[in-house]
Structure 1
Amino acid sequence: MLCTRCHKRPAVVFISQSMNSSESQGLCLVCARELGIKPVNDLMDKMGITEEQMEQMEEELSGLMNPEEGEADGEDGAFTPGGAATFPFLQNIFPGFQQEGGAGGKEKETAAPAREKKTKNKSKRRHLDAYCTDLTARARRGEIDNIVGRDREIARVIQILSRRTKNNPCLIGEPGVGKTAVAEGLAQRIAAGEVPARLQKKEIHLLDLTALVAGTQFRGQFESRIKGLVDEVKTEGNIILFIDEVHNLVGTGDAEGSMNAANILKPALSRGEIQVIGATTFAEYRKYIEKDAALERRFQPVTIAEPSVQETIDVLNGIKSYYEQYHRVRVPEVMVKRAVVLSERYINDRFLPDKAIDLLDESCACAALRNVPMAEYDRANAELEKLRAQEEEMTGGEAEPDYEKLAELRMDIVKLEGKAKELAPSALGAEVEEQDIAKVIELWTGIPAARVQESELKKLADLESVLKSKVIGQDEAVEAVAAAVRRSRVQISPRRRPASFIFVGPTGVGKTELVKVLSQELFDSPETLIRLDMSEFMEKHSVSRIIGSPPGYVGYDEAGQVTEKVRRRPYSVLLFDEIEKAHPDVMNILLQILDEGHITDAHGQNVNFENTVIVMTSNAGSEKKEAALGFAKTEEDASKERAMKALADFLRPEFLSRVDEIVVFKPLSIDDYQKIAGLMLNEYIGSLKERSITLQYDAQATRWLAEYAHGGKSGARDLRNLIRREVEDRIASTIVESNGSALSGVFVTVDEKNQILVQTL
């Protein structure tokens, strides 16, 4: 019976009006709670059931008492609203059970029309409507943005869907490359009739796994929902389920003694009774689906690769109208190109076209927010609508209006219309500028907007002078590096390969420092430097650390250290330190990178090294200092000859021939040491400035430091250690001895005893 109070929900709580009365009142849980029936309230509080959970229980109970069409036929104890039965499903458990009023045929005859009417009115797509979104219907209504490109991938999906069995494509790609867009593009083509006849009447439904699991409190509820959904899809015959993050099927609904969603769907998938389009990432596919061979064979993988820069530009040109309309700004084509190029260069932890679209979206928002006339235009329009509503109210009434007030109101309306018309060109004509894009990148990455806006050609033009100002005493090395980098970055040659160098020379002369400065100047961030100590790659199996472990080995689920970093930061500097210590097989991998500009990792993904700069360092030949033989041969020529001979001992000729430049670093002079001492002292200025302390020094101090450090075995590293002992320690002692009193600055010089002296200012 229904609740006697609300007449909507089934009665589950029965109370008697008095001790002697035989009449009872049936209430649903909601009404019993509202009436404050103490046993019900106590039970709910004890079990910790919330109002929302109670409503879900009512819905489940209603579904149990009112089964779907097909389940209510015959004498199966289906519930009839308003009937005498309270738990009609008891006949399914106890076939001989007779409910009160249920023995006669008359009641059954009268109940049947009501039941038939009820089931006819109920939707045949209860599960589809509850847990799925019809993408085809959304495409027909124009609610899906236009999909540009991906024609080859969509054609491949159509071909797989046209198979007789195992017709379930699985879209595999990195986050943000457009997997969901492929499914939406297919829905648009079905809506437009641009698919083969076999797919003309198909509908693509996006399955919400979260909604499917939500509210399943009791054992069997989840399986019942999945089975009901599968049955509806089978009955309809034209439904294609699109499951985003399809790896969530594995484990969804897992509980002791129950089946997960993947195991429930496997039989229907293999027989072709239902069609599914899945979407997941490479990592999740390897982690969840590849391990379940029975599930993997039911899907046909379709790789969705990251689009190129030009393809992304075409995508953004195709969808920029949506963002122009939403933000009420204009996006020139040149800004679309800049957004794509800058996002690819500076946003390294995401993928195209997603990061370029997000950058364009936020740049449009930035342009709209700095457009002051737009805010004034919106305020004028809002006030105009308000005045027009007042005018309509004054003229629409039965009473005669106050013509004087009406005239004033209309004058105000005319003034506002003129103001809005005057503001419209400037309010609706704002353009996205490069400063907007640079500002957003600065907010995302911390790279200064001025560096982002600086063109790459300008950086390349100034590269040599900037490197010389920061790397002292190695002008020839800097010139060779700058020339090779310009040659690689301008890309005149049809062969795309990374710029590559071998830095040879004694320790402490600036090899690693040049690499650090090059990384900072080229790619604006020290994080773009990927440093690998080749002493860790001395074993044959070390190759797996570069490209990843092969299938069946420990660590296969993890990507290679080098390939993964380059894939995430395509604009980077790779430093292979002390290459003479690496295993020959590791050098063979480097040989392929230097020659082709790309490499395939253990998972079959192609990793592009074209935009990297590869630097290898070696101390080969620097230990031996033999006398220079031959006429007019300088020490510099002799050291270069020794270095080339030492490199040839452990590197094959084909490897050396693929390197752009072999740069020999020469030993540093005392004058070079003095300049380096000045640079090292300047590093303390920033940290002391935070304490409101200035740092000054004279030429005597830098000369003293240079003379004492020159000639050491560690090169400029000895100079840094000397500055730490003689200068940094003395400055620290001076700050401590000041005991909190005002200290405006310190001055570093040399005293009469030829020792470093730190004076307070």
Structure 2
Amino acid sequence: MEFIIWFYQRGVVFYLRRWYFLLASIYHYFSVPVLFATLFSPWRKVVIEERTGYNIQKYFSNLVFNLISRAIGAVMRVLLLISACVLLLLVFMGGAVGLVVWLLLPPLGYSVYTRFQSRPSKLVQKIIASMKLTTDKPIRMVFDNAPGKFVLSRMNLSLDEVVKEANFSFESLGGVKGDSYSQLLEVLVEENTWPDDFFRKRQINKDDLVVAAMWWEQRTNENSYLGDERQNFVGAGIGAELLFGYTPNLSKYSTDMGSPRSYSHRLIGRESELNRMERTLNGGANVMLVGQPGVGKTTVVLAFALKAKVGELGPRLAYKKILELDYNSFLSGTADLNKKKTFMAQILAEAAYSGNTILVIRDIHRLTNPQVEGYDFTDVLEEHIKQEDLKIIAVLSPVDYERFVSQNLRLRKYFEIVEVVPPTKDEAFKILLEAAANWEAKQNIILPIPTLRQILDGSDKYISEIPFPEKALEILDSVVLYKEMQGKRDFMVSIDDVNQVLAEKTGISFARLTEQEKSKLTNIESIIHERLINQEAAVSLIGKSLRGRSVGLKEESRPIGSFLFLGPTGVGKTQTAKVLANIYYGSEANILRFDMAEFGGREGLERLMGSVDNNQPGLLTTAIKNRPASLLLLDEMEKATPSVYNFFLTLLDEGVIT
């Protein structure tokens, strides 16, 4: 009976909306209003616009050519209008007949009904109803279902232990005001259904229960989409496409950024960048997208291209093609600089004349600075950009921008900088969840929330040269491949697997850090005294400082400990450093030792810190970059040049060298 009621109420509405969407899709596909408005427009902008002066013969020749182009355009548009009208009529009549059949045969809608019932909002109502009917452990009803099993598997929990440790009261259900599974769990967590000790023993965050539920809802909503809530049109339609020019060369040497890609993820936390790009292009300027490698510049462009393709960027940018120019392919085809410049001009002219193209040029400094590739196409770019028919999105790093583009005033005045900064840690975790869902779908594996937390925290703490989200995604990919190399299938990735991969990348024994650090810190004085005689006061101060860091009394960005060891030769200064390296990093090999007496004067400072002018990497900066988790031992510090102290000030205070 419930199905019949749903069918003749919600089911009929579903059919009518799908019928309407089909008619609207045909109407948009043929661009019926555009066909009427541009009935006598030229065919694909194929016209001759050159001035003929007093050459009457050429004037009439061009006139005849343009009239023929308009005639061809009119004939094609009339044929398209006839096709659209016939197809709309057939679909309308077929839909009317189908509506009668739909009303007479309710079983046709049962598959739609089951998908509708699988939505999280409907499921939560059933869970609450079943809990009220159960007297023995009603909390079991929360997890003895599809979302509950998903949450338990992603939290490394079992149904029995969750039910056993729960202290449930029906009064807590009064706080459930919504209809989502995540809100149900959020209320249960806030009401302390499980004590804090339950989560502490299992080393999990209680808020991650809600995160896992939201993760399930996101994936389920995508799978249970019925196609009757909203409608997005892909592309401008045939009629609108006839108004745009041909681009034979550009099509050959470009990639459509709006085309589907298997590796693309949903854009998270980049709305401000997209809005600035849209405002800039609408305002007549071009976009200079600047960001560190790995920060997500390509993802921003892909999201912008997708929004343009489905018409979500407003009337001026709707249905524009975002094409990435592959200039390496056509520039490598000839060694003649003039031919390179001529072909570049042809490509840009096609993009400008087409009327629906926005070019994406990666590393634009390679085309505008002779120091990089040996040629400068600034004049070619400027010639087309200043006419405002050509729009460009340039993508490059901050270093390349400052070094090669910021001084190029001829080019820079046409661009507005849109900076892409690394996402926050919370945003990076959402991106990581998206990538994990893709891995689970492809490999049939399970990536629990605590495992993903370890990936996020480990990459944040121990990988400094790559920004979020790239460093977290790299660790995730490496962990999955690490498990695959072991020949396992249908596996669950554990925190130990993450620690193993992090250990390989950083050289740190993560087993020591995570399992034995607390016990060693408790007895650090006795451990040091096993290899060091006396020095009671100094060793006690070292132990107090390190224990303060372990309980969160010091900022994470600062070094674990900074110590100035004073004393004559042989009292144990270096020996103490070796013991600390053994405690924290498992080996004395993790000591970065520098004799500061060898780095006197300006030349020594450049060898130690590096030189931009000479393009010389520094010994100290390179060592810290390659092994950020290590013990830095500066021997004979008093013999160092005084100018080096300013560099170490930021290292000791903020954990970075500037």
TM-score range relative to shorter protein: 0.5 to 0.7
Task: Determine whether 1:170 maps to 2:231.
Answer: no
Aligned equivalent of 1:326: 442
Aligned equivalent of 2:347: 229
Q: Among residues 577, 585, 589, which one is paired with 2:635 in the alignment?
A: 577
Q: Among residues 475, 482, 488, which one is paired with 2:543 in the alignment?
A: 482
Secondary structure of the residue that 2:258 maps to in structure 1? helix
Task: Determine whether 1:185 maps to 2:243.
Answer: no
Q: Among residues 459, 464, 471, which one is paired with 1:343 in the alignment?
A: 459
Aligned equivalent of 2:325: 207
Report the alpha carbon displacement of residue 584 of structure 1 after superposing the two structures with TM.
4.9
Aligned equivalent of 1:147: 267
CA contact (8 A) 1:324 1:331 kept: yes
Q: Among residues 495, 520, 529, which one is paired with 1:434 in the alignment?
A: 495
Aligned equivalent of 1:130: 252
Aligned equivalent of 1:597: 654
What do you get for the CA RMSD once the two structures are aligned? 4.7
CA contact (8 A) 2:245 2:353 kept: no
Q: Among residues 456, 468, 486, which one is paired with 1:352 in the alignment?
A: 468
Pairs within 5 Å for 1:227-626: 227-250=345-368, 260-269=376-385, 272-290=388-406, 292=408, 294-296=410-412, 298-347=414-463, 350-368=466-484, 370=486, 374=489, 427=490, 430-444=491-505, 450-451=511-512, 454=515, 457=518, 460-461=521-522, 463-471=524-532, 473-474=534-535, 476-492=537-553, 497-498=558-559, 499-523=561-585, 529-535=591-597, 554-555=613-614, 566=624, 570-582=628-640, 584-588=642-646, 590-591=648-649, 593-594=651-652, 596-597=653-654, 601=658
- Tell me how many residue pairs correspond in the alignment: 436
CA contact (8 A) 2:323 2:359 kept: yes
Give the Cα–Cα distance (whole angstroms) in 2 for the partners of residues 540 and 252 of structure 1: 32
Give the Cα–Cα distance (whole angstroms) in 2 for the partners of residues 352 and 526 of structure 1: 31
CA contact (8 A) 2:512 2:584 kept: no
Give the Cα–Cα distance (whole angstroms) in 2 for the partners of residues 203 and 547 of structure 1: 47
Secondary structure of the residue that 2:436 maps to in structure 1? helix
Q: TM-score, normalised by structure 2?
A: 0.54
Give the Cα–Cα distance (whole angstroms) in 1 for the partners of residues 427 and 258 of structure 2: 26
1:69-99 CA-to-partner distances (Å, cap 9, x unmatched) read 969999x9xxxxxxxxxxxxxxxxxxxxxxx
Give the Cα–Cα distance (whole angstroms) in 1 for the partners of residues 381 and 586 of structure 2: 50
Report the alpha carbon displacement of residue 322 of structure 1 after superposing the two structures with TM.
0.7
1:392-437 CA-to-partner distances (Å, cap 9, x unmatched) read xxxxxxxxxxxxxxxxxxxxxxxxxxxxxxxxxxx4xx31112332
Report the alpha carbon displacement of residue 288 of structure 1 after superposing the two structures with TM.
3.5
CA contact (8 A) 1:213 1:253 kept: no
Please say which of residues 311-320 and 208-217 is displaced more in the overlay: 208-217
**Corresponding letter in the other structure for 2:545:** A
Unaligned runs of 5+ in 1: 1-67, 77-108, 375-426, 602-761
Residues 439 and 563 of structure 1: CA distance in aligned 2, closer, same or farther (over 3 Å): closer
Report the alpha carbon displacement of residue 344 of structure 1 after superposing the two structures with TM.
3.8
Give the Cα–Cα distance (whole angstroms) in 2 for the partners of residues 454 and 218 of structure 1: 64
Report the alpha carbon displacement of residue 354 of structure 1 after superposing the two structures with TM.
1.9
Residues 454 and 131 of structure 1: CA distance in aligned 2, closer, same or farther (over 3 Å): farther
**Corresponding letter in the other structure for 1:149:** G
Secondary structure of the residue that 1:146 maps to in structure 2? coil
Residues 274 and 113 of structure 1: CA distance in aligned 2, closer, same or farther (over 3 Å): closer
CA contact (8 A) 1:537 1:586 kept: no
Give the Cα–Cα distance (whole angstroms) in 1 for the partners of residues 543 and 497 of structure 2: 31
Give the Cα–Cα distance (whole angstroms) in 2 for the partners of residues 452 and 202 of structure 1: 52
Aligned equivalent of 2:163: none
Secondary structure of the residue that 1:502 maps to in structure 2? coil
Residues 210 and 171 of structure 1: CA distance in aligned 2, closer, same or farther (over 3 Å): same
Residues 450 and 593 of structure 1: CA distance in aligned 2, closer, same or farther (over 3 Å): closer
**Corresponding letter in the other structure for 2:327:** L
CA contact (8 A) 1:171 1:277 kept: no
Report the alpha carbon displacement of residue 234 of structure 1 after superposing the two structures with TM.
1.3
Give the Cα–Cα distance (whole angstroms) in 2 for the partners of residues 558 and 293 of structure 1: 29
Report the alpha carbon displacement of residue 190 of structure 1 after superposing the two structures with TM.
3.5
Matched-pair identity in %: 27
Structure with the higher fraction of residues in strand conformation:
1
1:126-178 CA-to-partner distances (Å, cap 9, x unmatched) read 23321221212437xx873212233444444444444433x3223131x2222
Give the Cα–Cα distance (whole angstroms) in 1 for the partners of residues 568 and 544 of structure 2: 23
Residues 593 and 453 of structure 1: CA distance in aligned 2, closer, same or farther (over 3 Å): closer
Please say which of residues 128-137 and 574-583 is displaced more in the overlay: 574-583
Larger relative contact order (Cα-Cα within 8 Å, sequence gap ≥ 6): 2
Give the Cα–Cα distance (whole angstroms) in 1 for the partners of residues 345 and 498 of structure 2: 50
Secondary structure of the residue that 1:500 maps to in structure 2? coil
Residues 227 and 501 of structure 1: CA distance in aligned 2, closer, same or farther (over 3 Å): same
Residues 497 and 435 of structure 1: CA distance in aligned 2, closer, same or farther (over 3 Å): closer
Residues 195 and 324 of structure 1: CA distance in aligned 2, closer, same or farther (over 3 Å): same
**Corresponding letter in the other structure for 1:513:** Q
Secondary structure of the residue that 2:565 maps to in structure 1? strand
CA contact (8 A) 1:438 1:452 kept: no
CA contact (8 A) 1:161 1:169 kept: no
Give the Cα–Cα distance (whole angstroms) in 2 for the partners of residues 457 and 196 of structure 1: 57
Secondary structure of the residue that 1:504 maps to in structure 2? coil
Give the Cα–Cα distance (whole angstroms) in 2 for the partners of residues 525 and 212 of structure 1: 53
**Corresponding letter in the other structure for 1:185:** A
Give the Cα–Cα distance (whole angstroms) in 2 for the partners of residues 565 and 151 of structure 1: 38
Secondary structure of the residue that 2:568 maps to in structure 1? coil
**Corresponding letter in the other structure for 1:132:** S
1:716-757 CA-to-partner distances (Å, cap 9, x unmatched) read xxxxxxxxxxxxxxxxxxxxxxxxxxxxxxxxxxxxxxxxxx
Secondary structure of the residue that 2:255 maps to in structure 1? strand
1:281-334 CA-to-partner distances (Å, cap 9, x unmatched) read 344444433564544555444444444544432320232111111111011111
CA contact (8 A) 2:440 2:447 kept: yes
1:614-634 CA-to-partner distances (Å, cap 9, x unmatched) read xxxxxxxxxxxxxxxxxxxxx
Residues 511 and 303 of structure 1: CA distance in aligned 2, closer, same or farther (over 3 Å): farther
Report the alpha carbon displacement of residue 363 of structure 1 after superposing the two structures with TM.
1.9
Give the Cα–Cα distance (whole angstroms) in 1 for the partners of residues 406 and 641 of structure 2: 32
**Corresponding letter in the other structure for 2:284:** R
**Corresponding letter in the other structure for 1:480:** L
Which protein has the larger Cα radius of gyration, Structure 1 or Structure 2? 1
Give the Cα–Cα distance (whole angstroms) in 1 for the partners of residues 283 and 588 of structure 2: 51
CA contact (8 A) 1:234 1:274 kept: yes
Q: TM-score, normalised by structure 1?
A: 0.48
Aligned equivalent of 1:391: none
**Corresponding letter in the other structure for 1:597:** E
Report the alpha carbon displacement of residue 503 of structure 1 after superposing the two structures with TM.
0.6
1:675-729 CA-to-partner distances (Å, cap 9, x unmatched) read xxxxxxxxxxxxxxxxxxxxxxxxxxxxxxxxxxxxxxxxxxxxxxxxxxxxxxx
Residues 535 and 217 of structure 1: CA distance in aligned 2, closer, same or farther (over 3 Å): closer
CA contact (8 A) 2:557 2:655 kept: no
